[in-house]
Structure 1
């Protein structure tokens, strides 16, 4: 499998945490449509968690 460009390495955890937060919210939305706001909150939280793990906060 081909590796991503090295310029992506600085954003690795931001991408992983944001994707995980988005997947969690999609699963949550399947059970209750009223949690649509959760998409934005968890996406932002995932981005900042990834930024923290990248040591770039």
Structure 2
């Protein structure tokens, strides 16, 4: 998957935009807010991986 797509930002997004979107999505998909939802946990992992890759 494209990391920009995972964070729902354009490939021209600045670091600030990427960070802001990551915060929003991480909060939404955090496992503590979605207990027992394995799909949410996988999405949370993907979001973290995308963020690390793009801001590395």
Fold-level similarity (TM above 0.5): no
TM-score normalised per structure 1:
0.42
TM-score normalised per structure 2:
0.43
Higher relative contact order (CA 8 A, sep 6+): 1
Q: Flag the structure with higher helix content.
A: 1
Larger Rg: 1
